[in-house]
Amino acid sequence: MFLLASTDFCLKSANIWALVGKILFVFKIVIPLLLIIFGMIDLGKAVISAEEKAIKNSTNSIIRRLIAAVVIFFVPTIVGAIFGLVDGFSESDYKNCKECLVHPYDSGKCNTSKSE
């Protein structure tokens, strides 16, 4: 009964999962780029000011931003690994949900929800 309910839920809510997947896709690209651009701007300002302390602070800031950009880019992979560790989580039950989150632009899988 539970397996049928979870499979039906993923099939019926495919459009919602695809929308969330598209938003995550944009975030995976835009946020790391913005973090890197802002870090470069801060470092450029520090270099122009020619203050040793400002350059050191800016360098530390850009390193933290680069780490944050990498972490944000890999959030879906990390979440998938955590769900894989959960006892009783069957990937086959939620395969459509996962596919719509990970591949929201695939035609046919997530564009239309199956309301049967």
pTM of the model: 0.61
DSSP line for 78-100: HHHHHHHHSTT--TTTTHHHHHH
pLDDT of 116 higher than 60: no
Q: Does residue 114 contact residue 12 with C-beta atoms inside 8 Å? A: yes
For 82-100, what is each residue's pLDDT tens digit? 767 766 656 666 777 777 7
Higher pLDDT, 112 or 61: 61
Tokens 């973090």 belong to which residue? 35
Note the pLDDT of residue 108: 67
Nearest C-alpha neighbor of 15 from the set 93, 116, 104, 95: 104
| DSSP one-letter code for 112 | S
Higher model confidence: residue 41 or residue 91?
41
- Say if residues 103 and 21 touch (Cβ distance below 8 Å): yes
